[in-house]
Amino acid sequence: MVATMPDVLPLVDDFCTKLNRRQVEGSLDTAKLALVLLRQVISAQRIPPNASAGVLIDAIKTVGVRMIAANPIELAVGNIVRRVLHIIREEDASLATTVVSGVTVAVDSDDEDNLDIREQASSHAVAAANRNVLRAPSLHNLLESNPSPVKADVTVASTGDSTDTKSRSGDKNSRSWKLKHNVIESINIMLNELQEYHLQVAEQALEHIHQNEVILTLGRSRTLLHFLLGAKKKRSFQVVVAEGSPRYQGHKLAKELTAEKLSTTLITDSAVFAMISRVNMVIVGAHAVMANGGVLAPVGLHMVALAAKRHAVPFVVLTGLHKLCPLYPHNPFTLLNDMKSPSEVLDFGELSDCLNGTTGGAESHVFNPTFDYIPPELVSLFITDTGGHNPSYVYRLVAEFYSPEDIVL
Amino acid sequence: MPAMMRRSQFSLFDPSLDNLSFRADSDDGGMAGNTTPTESSAFYDGRTGCNSNLLSGPVTYEWLSQADEARLNSSAEGFHTLHHKPVLSREAMNGDKPSSRFSVINEFNFWRQKPELAEAVAAIKALTAVIRRSEATTMMGLEIELKKAAETLKMWDSTSISLSAGCDLFMRYVTRTSALEYEDISAGKSRLIERGEKFGEISLKARQTIANLGQEFVYDGSVILTHGYSRVALALLKLAASQGKRFKVLCTEGRPDNTGLEMAKELMNAKIPVTLILDAAVANMMGQVDMVLLGAEGVVESGGVINYIGTFQTALVARSMSKPVYVAAESYKFARLFPLDQMDMSPTPRVVDLAVPEQEGRIKIHTSGRDYTPPQYLTLLFTDLGILTPSAVSDELIQLYL
């Protein structure tokens, strides 16, 4: 266990407190803050020169576990932590292969008779490192052991003399520096992608929204707003917005759309089924996408998805990759939901009327869940910043951006 | 004993074997044709379960089923002696290494006796034993020997999918390893042996991994329906119970093998509340069920599973009532098969024991022992490679054979 560098500790504490008190909300904001914090943790972390990425991984895991515990409902935090871990492992693997080939070059000057064998052995080590280090357990390597890249370069360099060992340690020093440098660069790229993912999604709008179509949505999603505005440039269409009680974010979206001169109709949530037959497409945003293709979306959207399925209307979900969670929803209706204050539904004044006069207990209960779980069969398409995907394709995205060792932190 | 009778029933009544015994008298090169069964048409192999190149013309399914019925009418003792006959005659005729041929099957049966070991693992251990006994001097020679041994195993029980999948997996590993260069044959052999031994441990760990992954899906107060006897599903449920989760299990009877009874007994020993239900009562009870948990004999390329008869039915009912269907299967059960319908697999007839024995001879009984559940009825697969959606299975298979 590596202790977190003291200068970063107060920052971590601060962020965890914010998460705990729900002072930072929304997957995008949380993801950005988490990423920035992890970048600071990495740059502050001192890596001993002869260690591999394990030190960094442990540091990130320690911080990550704390952040996730602060707000387990906000899945974006866990996603970012796991993505950073995956980046560290990837960078470590690519550095390992370059180091191995680098040491082979140094050994070259030795015995020329054994050159071929050593080259072959090292190329095997390189190939093995390439193949095995990052591969998830698969049928392919079920019967193989995994040679670690550190072991590989040790065996190759063991025939070298003392001057080689010195250059090796010098190599390692720059190696850990390079690792940090590469990881921080990748994190910066990821931050940029985060800032701009809604633009990437909006670029695809013209392919999906056609002339004179009617789009239905519920509540408000920032990505959806940009998506519709992206399509508005070249198409004219109408939008039907369901208000999305109890927060009534739909009102806000309707106002924003009208300000942009898009013809908008506002309806209540209960009118969705009545309107669905007149609609060409349902487009919504999401809170999180689970590994089986299921969606955590604002409450009310499961109902809309069922109505859409019933009338064969495509149900399109806009999402960014930071919302992609590698976990499976074990018991989706209870475990991943956030219960907000019942006063949003029923005023506290009226609520007190529901309380039993004699015992003070509640005769009737008011539930205010924030999220709905939409099973993957009801979703037609995911539009992410990398393009459009089927729900059954989500497992590939998960495999690309996350390492299986990091699923359980 | 019933297990013995079930094995290779079609090879028993393979008319080619009569040809073989005939040819034993004339020692000519006709043997050569018999020792290369791989040249036969794969389509007929799959559908009829025997090697068509040894026959004068293609054998139809009806012919074989009639032949099977005729055989079912003969006595049980007759089975036992007939069962050993083909092995002896084949082995007697093949001049090259009869002992290794015979011992592969023996080894396999020896490992098979151990109740905890799956068929695929027993097969790989038997193949490892072949490597140990091999006197080949090159990796290619070793490979050829192993191929022959694998073919023998597959022919021994042509209906078991996990057996052939395990053999294929090991053969694939061997061909990959021999491509890498080793200084001498003994290093290569020892590496293969070591990995073969390791595989036995891996497979035991596989069940643990699957149990760990899958028990997350069991929650307090849930009602789980299982079908047939699956050691993996059992391990999962036992682990969930040991974690203190309170749940109930409904076990189908699993006729005609009554495997559900064994499952129920095991669950009772683990202090899990279990109720035995008729196979026909699945739809009746499905309303109370929260999830269906199944094992698998084989997982096919489409992401569907081949399992004990009645699985498809259960999945169909569960799907229509929107209940999730989870399959627990180890990764070495992934097979390169793609059945298009229920008839597209090698048939495994079971002995169906009706309550009215005197009618048995006259009434036609459909004795198929397993069915194919298409992927759209499955929700998730728990494997030691992780939790997979059915669409991810073909990806895994492609990665293996790239």
pLDDT tens digit at each of 402 positions of chain B: 444 444 444 444 444 444 444 444 444 443 443 444 444 455 544 454 444 444 445 566 666 667 667 666 654 444 443 333 333 334 433 444 445 455 777 777 777 777 777 788 888 888 888 888 888 788 788 888 888 888 888 888 777 888 888 888 888 877 776 666 666 777 778 888 888 888 777 777 889 999 999 988 999 999 999 998 999 999 999 999 999 999 999 999 988 888 899 999 999 999 999 999 999 999 999 999 999 999 999 999 899 999 999 999 999 999 999 999 999 999 888 888 889 988 888 777 777 776 666 665 677 778 888 899 999 999 999 998 888 899 888 888 777 666
CA A110 – CA B375 distance, rounded (Å)? 58
Say if the Cβ atoms of A330 and B198 lie within 8 Å.
no
Nearest C-alpha neighbor of A39 from the set A87, A76, A73 = A87
Closest Cβ opposite residue B400 in set A124, A139, A396 = A139
Same domain? B157 vs B232: no
Please provide the DSSP assignment of B327-359 as one string: EE--GGGB-S---SSTTSS---B-----S-GGG
**Does some domain include residue B184?**
yes
CA B259 – CA B257 distance, rounded (Å)? 5
CA B1 – CA A397 distance, rounded (Å)? 49
Boundary (domain end) residue, out of B175, B205, B235: B205
Nearest C-alpha neighbor of A71 from the set A30, A43, A100, A105 = A30
Same domain? B383 vs B251: yes
Say if the Cβ atoms of B397 and A293 lie within 8 Å.
no
- Provide, as residue numbers in chain A, all residues whose Cβ is less than 8 Å from the Cβ of B396: 138-139
pLDDT over 70 percentage in chain A: 76
Same domain? B341 vs B242: yes
What phi and psi, each to the nearest 5 degrees, are found at residue B94? -85, 115
Chain A and chain B share a number of CB contacts under 8 A equal to 70
DSSP three-state, residue B401: helix
Measured in angstroms, the CA of B70 and the nearest CA of chain A are apart by 42
Are the beta carbons of A41 and A63 closer than 8 angstroms?
Answer: yes
Are the beta carbons of A30 and A77 closer than 8 angstroms?
Answer: yes
Say if the Cβ atoms of A404 and B181 lie within 8 Å.
no
DSSP A393: G
- Provide, as residue numbers in chain A, all residues whose Cβ is less than 8 Å from the Cβ of B199: 142-143
Same domain? B58 vs B103: yes
Say if the Cβ atoms of B396 and A392 lie within 8 Å.
no
Boundary (domain end) residue, out of B185, B205, B225: B205
Most A CBs within 10 A among B162, B216, B302, B388, hence the mutation to make, goes to B216
Residue B359: which CATH number? 3.40.50.10470
Bridging pattern class, strands A214-218 and A238-242? parallel
**Does some domain include residue B382?**
yes
Measured in angstroms, the CA of A67 and the nearest CA of chain B are apart by 22
Cβ burial A296-306 (10 Å sphere, 16+ → b, else e): bbbbbbbbbbb
Same domain? B284 vs B341: yes
Same domain? B187 vs B226: no
Could you tell me if B216 lies within 8 Å of chain A, comparing CB atoms? yes
Say if the Cβ atoms of A395 and B388 lie within 8 Å.
yes
Could you tell me if B400 lies within 8 Å of chain A, comparing CB atoms? yes
Nearest C-alpha neighbor of B68 from the set B48, B38, B92 = B48
CA B248 – CA B221 distance, rounded (Å)? 7
Task: Compute the C-alpha angle B208/B211/B213, nearest 5°.
Answer: 110
**Does some domain include residue B350?**
yes
Could you tell me if B326 lies within 8 Å of chain A, comparing CB atoms? no
Boundary (domain end) residue, out of B172, B205, B238: B205
- Structural domain of residue B256, as residue ranges? 210-401
DSSP three-state, residue B78: helix
Domain count, chain B: 2
Most B CBs within 10 A among A120, A140, A330, hence the mutation to make, goes to A140
DSSP B251: E
**What is the reported pLDDT for A136?**
55
**Looking at the whole model, is its pTM more than 0.90?**
no
Measured in angstroms, the CA of B396 and the nearest CA of chain A are apart by 6
**Does some domain include residue B2?**
no
Low-confidence ranges of chain A (pLDDT < 50): 1, 104-121, 124, 126-134, 146-169
Are the beta carbons of A279 and A214 closer than 8 angstroms?
Answer: yes
Same domain? B226 vs B77: no
Say if the Cβ atoms of B180 and A139 lie within 8 Å.
no
Most B CBs within 10 A among A143, A146, A331, A395, hence the mutation to make, goes to A143
Same domain? B177 vs B310: no
Say if the Cβ atoms of B396 and A404 lie within 8 Å.
no
DSSP A245: T
Measured in angstroms, the CA of B28 and the nearest CA of chain A are apart by 41
Same domain? B190 vs B219: no
Amino acid at A49: P
Most A CBs within 10 A among B168, B321, B322, B389, hence the mutation to make, goes to B389
CA B237 to chain centre: 22
**What is the reported pLDDT for B1?**
45
Nearest C-alpha neighbor of A291 from the set A139, A397, A372, A134 = A397
Same domain? B116 vs B253: no
Q: pLDDT per residue over B284-310, tens digit each?
A: 999 999 999 999 999 998 999 999 999
Are the beta carbons of A147 and A128 closer than 8 angstroms?
Answer: yes
Neighbours of B303 (CB within 10 A): 24
**Does some domain include residue B56?**
yes
Q: B183 to chain A: nearest residue by CA?
A: A117
> Tokens for A32?
């950005």
CA B287 – CA B290 distance, rounded (Å)? 8
Say if the Cβ atoms of A143 and B195 lie within 8 Å.
yes
Same domain? B142 vs B180: yes
Cβ burial A13-40 (10 Å sphere, 16+ → b, else e): eebbebbeeeebeebbebbbbbbebbbb
Are the beta carbons of B326 and B377 closer than 8 angstroms?
Answer: no
**Does some domain include residue B357?**
yes
Could you tell me if B388 lies within 8 Å of chain A, comparing CB atoms? yes
Which residues of A touch chain B, with CB atoms under 8 Å apart? 120, 124, 136-140, 142-145, 291-293, 328, 330-331, 392-396, 404, 407
Same domain? B171 vs B62: yes
Say if the Cβ atoms of B216 and A330 lie within 8 Å.
yes
Could you tell me if B198 lies within 8 Å of chain A, comparing CB atoms? yes
CA A107 – CA A96 distance, rounded (Å)? 17
> B142 exposed, middle or buried (CB, 10 Å; 0-12, 13-18, 19+)?
buried
Could you tell me if B396 lies within 8 Å of chain A, comparing CB atoms? yes
Say if the Cβ atoms of B400 and A404 lie within 8 Å.
no
- How far CA A215 is from CA of A201, A209, A297, in Å, comes to 17, 8, 18
**Does some domain include residue B6?**
no
Bridging pattern class, strands A263-267 and B380-383? unpaired
- Provide, as residue numbers in chain A, all residues whose Cβ is less than 8 Å from the Cβ of B380: 292, 328
What phi and psi, each to the nearest 5 degrees, are found at residue A284? -140, 165
Could you tell me if B187 lies within 8 Å of chain A, comparing CB atoms? no
Say if the Cβ atoms of B385 and A136 lie within 8 Å.
yes
**What is the reported pLDDT for A366?**
83
**Does some domain include residue B4?**
no
Q: A127 to chain B: nearest residue by CA?
A: B180
Are the beta carbons of A235 and A253 closer than 8 angstroms?
Answer: no
Closest Cβ opposite residue B389 in set A120, A395, A404 = A395
Q: B326 to chain A: nearest residue by CA?
A: A330
**What is the reported pLDDT for A279?**
96
